[in-house]
Chains A and B, each alone.
Chain A
Amino acid sequence: MNQEPGFTVVDPPRSVFRRKRFLLPFGIAVATALTGAVALFASGTVALPWQDVTVVRGMLASKREFFQDPEVRRILMKHRVQVEITPVGSRDLAYREDLHSFDFVFPSGQSMAELVYRRRAGKTTSPYKPFFTPIVLGTYRDYAEALEQRGVITPQPDGDGFYYNLSVPKLIEVVEQGTFWNQLPRKGGKDPVTNSNRVIAQTPDPCRTYSGSTWLGLLAFAKNGNQTPVDESDALRLARDVKPLFDIEGQHGEELAPKYVTPEGRTFAPVVVIYEHQYLAHQFRMLDRTGAADRERVLLYPEAQHETVPELLAFTPAGSRLGELVTREPDLRKRALELGFRVFGSGGSFDQSELSAHLGGRGLPSPRSGVGDTETWLPPRDLFEQMITEVGGCT
């Protein structure tokens, strides 16, 4: 194989492939790549070249964390489905010019799905509801101690210190009084935290995200005596009442949940509006990595919860194929639990639910979500849009 042709008059340069110092590393590279490719194929991470892989293009907001999970991608690849994600805030998603060019979209909540339905008038849109997750506040133990001392939150009876119930009206009261964090003594006679900012919950931009706009809805509902506004003037008055609560923060940040779990999280924001699944996924990762749960970070559940059921909206057969998989495929449903989502079971309350069992299996208590007790209603879509625009100054 290595022989040179004997009759060559001019010695040509030897092919790069034949040089000895090339051959050995090349051979190793091929062997390594081959082993890797076989392993990937066997694990379902890649499909072999001649197999048809359906690339499903979707626009997603916070729920993209599910589809970015390597295990989810692997399971989907087993079914020869690969998801290509365009990350975008839920409200941005609903207004995007190229909305119809995707196979599916996955806004984080119903109110944004409604906007999508409206734009899809006359076009096929198939909804799938694979899981749900409530909007909560993520914070840190010392901040929770300050809020508890002030009577804004109370520990959940079986929460083992991880979960609290939040009175939104009391929180609004403390915010509107202009309270600074360093004015709030902590439970157990401890000194206030060192923070000379005013007390607020920091939220993603209500103009762009579902969680930001829903937090707006929660505050407005509480401020309006647990009523939704009935007409335009009512909605605008309420929006102007709520706006100062948002103006304290000024410019809203992005990607609050990924930052919340970093060691620098409390510097970004000590109290943030996030989804329950983002917190639970963090706890599962902590358990995997360190064997112990993170007891510094705690969740606050609004007492009047708003149930968030995100809908995967399929526009094409490829999108529907994905929708079917995420709602029915057992491995994907199991993985959703492992990522902290509540999946729809065969019925029954959350206490008997699969997520509850999963939490128990990992040694974590189950939160009481407030869902089913008092409920926060968001205003009718058109009024809500006006309120969001008024508060956020959306462009």
Chain B
Amino acid sequence: MRRALLLVVALLAACTATTPPAQTLTVLASAELADLEPVLARLRRDTGVELRFDLRGTVKASEELARGSTGHDLAWLSSTRYLKLLGARLPLATSVMLSPVVVGVKRGKADALRSASWADVAARAGSGSLKYLMADPRVTGSGSAALIGVATAAAGTGAALRDEDVRCDKLQGFLVGRAPDPPAAESLFDEYLAREADLDAVLTYESTVLRLNASGRLREPLEVVRPRDGIVLADYPLMLLDPDKRAVYDKVVAWLRDRPAQEDIMGRTARRPVDPTVPRTAELGAELGTSLYFPAAQQVLNTLLAAYDRAGRGSRVVFALDYSTSMRGARIAELRSAFASLSGFEAFHVGERITVVRFAGTVLAEHAVTIRSAADVAALNDFLASDDLRDGTAIWSALDHAYRQAGEGAVVLMTDGENNAGIGPDEFLAAWRGAPVRTYAIPFGEADPAELARVADETGGRLVPATEGSLAEAVEEIRGCR
């Protein structure tokens, strides 16, 4: 035994005498992880392993990984979700820490948004009263997660977003509030500091918001708002790309998941530990609420990005509304209330060009406005309040009139009767074949749904049935369709 111990001493002495050369691993990392530097310094000191970060936006990094080898030893991204969307085979991955994507709102604007839903955020953004910074969703995980989150909430299905849910995109109002030139930077820390004066809020990781507050460099502190319909949570898996580095990967993972490192990560970067036994700091003690389900297909994200790119362009809707005498009473009241109650994702938003055409046997009146303020919406409702109901129903002539105003937007046609004046449906179709305008038709009362459906389908739009009492739902369903 004594000899054995001496041998151990000798071996240990040999190990200690030559300081082991620092092992260096290259890591393709989400760019916000630059803030881990002090933690990595301790990792190196304790284990002799240096992680050399090559920083990218998470979405870009995922695309590179999905294409094949990047030559890195490890990858450390905010999530494997984008890799999975791209159908990439997942490497060995171990989650290290957590941070949700949230809305950081300036204290002065936060009162209205405490316990808000994404629809509330969208309505305020759409009305021009919330200007926010959000990173480029084509490049960054935070931007992509925010976009997917808000679109999932807007679809309101309570399920993962599908392609058909994005067909009518409800995000145009929300995107009105987006600050111009979305940064490709994953961390909005510096960007927000530089642009704070022009902004009300920032959509990014909770950790970034908390670090901004702690920086002492903000003119107005931010409050963390976690929309109540759900958030997207990042879990920062460390992935092994080069299987030959398995032993050192295990060493790094063990160190990172050990309590001191978990506490250090929480203290320095305001991310939440994955170790359930580490007590959260006061600012990280709050419940996060629920997560939104995450889409299963890349196609959904592509459709969503197309909608994102369209934002602010061609937001033009013409409403052709039947003001014939048969509408008198409950029906016209319901029509007015359907418009008055548009809110959240369906609310009229700043920059949207709205035209309302009242028709009976002929076009009775027209009101067109580009929304700039709440007063413009009020004026629209005043226009609808007219009691000027007349005889006759010239559906196709009214639609023809609407098409002249529609540009490349959409027309919402609402009628409660059969056509008995003006041109017929075939004449209308012949005149507008190939026009870049879709018709969404809401039949009501005695209207002929078959004929309306035929025309709507030919324009690329569709019929949205509304029994009495559900007109508001039908109008809501069509909002955002174009």
Q: A residues touching B (Cβ–Cβ < 8 Å)?
A: 17, 26, 29-30, 33-34, 37-38, 48-50, 86-88, 178, 180, 194-198, 247-251, 254-255, 258-259, 261-264, 266-270, 285, 289, 393, 395
Contact = CB atoms under 8 A, between A and B. Distances in A.
Contact of A255 (B95, B158, B229): B95
Interface in B1-52: 4-5, 7-9, 11-13, 16-17
Could you say which of A178, A196, A285 has the most chain B C-beta atoms within 10 Å of its C-beta?
A196
A194 B157 CA distance: 16
A30 B160 contact: no
B294 A34 contact: no
A180 B158 contact: yes
Could you say which of A262, A268, A270 has the most chain B C-beta atoms within 10 Å of its C-beta?
A262
B113 interface: no
A138 to B, nearest CB: 13
B157 A258 contact: no
A218 to B, nearest CB: 20
A289 B278 CA distance: 11
24 contacts: A30-B12, A30-B13, A34-B9, A34-B12, A50-B7, A196-B153, A196-B158, A197-B230, A198-B158, A247-B162, A250-B161, A250-B295, A251-B81, A251-B293, A251-B294, A259-B235, A263-B272, A264-B98, A264-B272, A266-B287, A267-B231, A268-B233, A268-B291, A393-B296
Contact of B7 (A49, A249, A259, A262): A49
Interface string B273-298: 01011001000000111111111100
A174 to B, nearest CB: 13
Given A38-B5, A263-B276, A269 B92 contact: no
Given A267-B290, A267-B291, A268-B233, 10 more contacts: A37-B8, A38-B8, A49-B8, A49-B11, A180-B158, A197-B158, A249-B293, A266-B290, A267-B100, A267-B289
B159 interface: yes
B16 A250 contact: no
B18 to A, nearest CB: 10
Could you say which of A34, A194, A261, A263 has the most chain B C-beta atoms within 10 Å of its C-beta?
A263
B258 to A, nearest CB: 12
Could you say which of B8, B233, B276, B294 has the most chain A C-beta atoms within 10 Å of its C-beta?
B276
B16 A26 contact: yes
Interface string B63-80: 000000000000000001
Contacts of B81: 251
Interface string B94-117: 010010100000000000000001
A269 B276 CA distance: 15
A38 B81 CA distance: 45
B380 interface: no
Contacts of B17: 17
A216 B158 CA distance: 21
B158 A249 contact: no
In the complex, the 3 A-B pairs of residues with the closest C-beta atoms, listed nearest first: A250-B160, A198-B158, A267-B288
Given A49-B11, A197-B230, A267-B100, A34 B5 contact: yes
Nearest to B4: A48
B353 interface: no
A309 to B, nearest CB: 26
Given A37-B12, A196-B158, A264-B233, A250 B291 contact: no
Given A194-B289, A196-B230, A250-B295, A48 B8 contact: yes
A251 B291 contact: no
B276 A262 contact: yes
Contact of B228 (A194, A258, A395): A194
A254 B80 contact: yes
Nearest to B11: A49
B451 to A, nearest CB: 32
Contacts of A262: 98, 274, 276
B93 interface: yes
A248 B288 CA distance: 21
B9 A258 contact: no
Nearest to B279: A263
Interface string B145-157: 0000000010011
Contacts of A178: 158
B159 A248 contact: yes
B290 A261 contact: no
A195 B290 contact: yes
Contacts of B100: 267
Nearest to A289: B277
Contacts of B401: none
Contact of A247 (B4, B9, B159, B292): B159
Interface string B191-211: 000000000000000000000
A261 B276 contact: yes
